[in-house]
Amino acid sequence: MAFIIRPMRQEDLPQVNEIDHEAFPTLWPPPNYQRELDNGLAHYIVACDDEIEYQPPKDTPQRGLSGLIARMKPLSNHRKPSNNEVPPKAREYIYGFTGLWLMAGEAHITNIAVREKHRRQGMGELLLISLIDLAIELGAKLVTLEVRASNIDAQSLYAKYGFVEVGLRRGYYSDNREDGVLMTIEDVTSSPVQANLRRLKQAHAQRWEMTAHIIAL
Ligand SMILES: CC(C)(COP(=O)(O)OP(=O)(O)OC[C@H]1O[C@@H](n2cnc3c(N)ncnc32)[C@H](O)[C@@H]1OP(=O)(O)O)[C@@H](O)C(=O)NCCC(=O)NCCS
């Protein structure tokens, strides 16, 4: 299967919010991804397929101002397109996303999430591989993150990619005061880390027969 990995864009936000809500239902307030897109330190990517058109769920009408604008659109769309106008591109289907903040040579992974129905199919790994590559490209020496103490699935994904537990932040998560486990890849450009990443990438490509078309990250 072929996927596209590309920077997150404004038009992705409805899907990104949907995936975020499914992945982190207790997080309130939810992250403001519009602000993240405007933040020069933040870098977000999505894994998507441009051959599948995104269909918003029927039972969740958009709320607030964006919902009002969406409902008003049919009224303002009565102008017929002229013959040489290119029709707007259908919105690509997003499987998952991830992001980091880059500060003083440190890449801090803010989150990673895959739609529930596409989990356990190598998508989380594809995103993490792409994000680590992006961190290196941006000049990071260290990659770090916090993960809930109870989130064994994510911890095992990070451990597979060479993240090592280096500390515990007590009561880090505001919703239930759960501890955050601090995990780090210390020297991401070192030869042993790079060799391990190459091996993991090869194993991932062979196992899932997945190719990713990466668009200027
Ligand atoms: C964590 C998450 C992104 C993983 O995505 P995914 O597409 O299912 O992951 P993959 O299929 O690429 O799995 C890669 C590795 O992750 C680990 N993993 C993922 N799901 C797991 C599970 N249910 N049980 C145990 N290990 C799991 C394994 O190490 C796995 O490697 P393996 O297949 O060799 O065992 C996904 O479960 C998710 O979106 N969770 C909700 C959001 C979240 O908790 N994010 C982390 C915040 S810190």
Q: What is the pLDDT of residues 192-205, one digit of tens each?
A: 999 999 999 999 99
**Atom nearest to 113 CA in ligand 1:** 39
Is 53 in the active site?
A: no
Quick: pLDDT tens for 24-34. 999 888 899 99
How far apart, in Å, do the first and last CA atoms of the chain sit?
A: 21
* pLDDT above 90 for 152: yes
Burial 106-116 (b: 16+ CB within 10 A, else e): ebbbbbbbbbe
Quick: pLDDT tens for 67-121. 444 444 433 333 444 455 544 455 899 999 999 999 999 999 999 999 999 999 9
Among the options 146, 165, 172, 178, which is catalytic? 146
Q: What is the average pLDDT across 156-183?
A: 97
What is the CA(150)–ligand 1 centre distance, in A? 13
**Atom nearest to 118 CA in ligand 1:** 7
Is 172 in the active site?
A: no
C-beta neighbour count of 147 within 10 angstroms? 23
